[in-house]
Amino acid sequence: MKSLQNPPSYRTDTVLPLPAAVRCPSWAVDAACSGNPGPMEYQCIDLQTGAQVFHFGPVQGTNNIGEFLAIVHALALMEKQGITDKVIYSDSYNAILWVSKKRCKTTLVRNARTEQLYQIIQRAETWLKTHPVSVPVIKWETKEWGEIPADFGRK
């Protein structure tokens, strides 16, 4: 993870140097994949503290699947912990759309190598269909704000 820097003086709600437009408290999620498909992992960072909230992987998958699962994982964890005062940031338009439609619209081939991931996708879709989503999921504007703090830094 990147080293923490002092935030600008106008930010007293975070230890990270976040743009003024970024709401806090919040979590940021991101995925990384080496190849497409390939080894995929995702993580969540608390934007108030800079701490890693969770990490999953690597498993055989795609970046879009990882982005989708990261959002659902964050939503489920917030519900489990009774967190209602945060928002979730993702830099993936597709993943945000898939979450809103409650379906991971992947074209990844389902086979013995991807079956474990497909079971996780099914569990995530079922969770979305059986739990109301009350936490806002907001698009991280990379062009304006730079890389999302949950980025793996491998570009």
Q: Whole-structure pTM over 0.85, yes or no? A: yes
Of 130 and 17, the one with more pLDDT = 130
pLDDT surpassing 60 at residue 2: no
Contact 92, 100 (CB under 8 A): no
Give residue limits of the domains in the chain.
26-145
CA distance 71 to 108: 19
> According to DSSP H, which parts of the chain are helical?
63-81, 93-101, 115-130, 142-145
pLDDT surpassing 70 at residue 90: yes
For the segment 14-33, the average pLDDT, to the nearest whole number, is: 89
Instruction: Give the pLDDT confidence score for residue 117 in this predicted structure.
Output: 95
The two three-digit tokens of residue 94, written as one number:
């597709």
CA distance 41 to 31: 6
Instruction: Give the pLDDT confidence score for residue 16 in this predicted structure.
Output: 76
pLDDT single digits (tens) 113-144: 999 999 999 999 999 999 999 999 999 999 99
**CATH superfamily of this structure's domain 26-145:** Ribonuclease H-like superfamily/Ribonuclease H (3.30.420.10)
Instruction: Give the pLDDT confidence score for residue 108 in this predicted structure.
Output: 95
pLDDT single digits (tens) 98-114: 999 999 999 999 999 99
Place of tokens 């080293």: 3
CA distance 112 to 5: 44
- Residue 150: how many CB atoms within 10 A of its CB? 27
CA distance 68 to 48: 23
